[in-house]
Amino acid sequence: MDLEWLKPSAFFGSILYALIGVVVFLVCFIVVDKITPYDLWAEIVEKHNVALAIVVGAMSLGISIIVAAAVHG
């Protein structure tokens, strides 16, 4: 059984790439929130706009897949 993933360099490298991925995702989400003509949070939570919630969820998954592919190489 090889414990290559348990070495400090691999472990901290994984943590660093995960943090970079989360930061890139948050920046992309904030950009999308700013370019939409209305407040996404108020529209989804207060007005219960289910269609917008589905679109935002799909957009979040898409950005996550792109970020994961970019980080993975």
Model-level pTM?
A: 0.72
Instruction: State the alpha helices, DSSP H only, in the chain.
Output: 8-35, 40-41, 50-72
Nearest to 17 by CA among 60, 69, 55, 57: 69
With cut-offs at 50, 70 and 90, classify the pLDDT of residue 64: confident
Query: Model confidence at 25, in pLDDT bands (50, 70, 90)?
Result: confident
Q: Where along the chain do its domains lie? A: 7-72
Residue with the bigger pLDDT between 71 and 30: it is 30
Q: Is pLDDT of 2 > 80?
A: no
Calpha distance 19→22 (Å, rounded): 5
35-60 per-position pLDDT tens digit: 988 888 889 999 999 999 999 899 88
Asked if 8 and 58 count as a contact pair (C-beta separation under 8 A), the reply is no
73 pLDDT more than 70: no
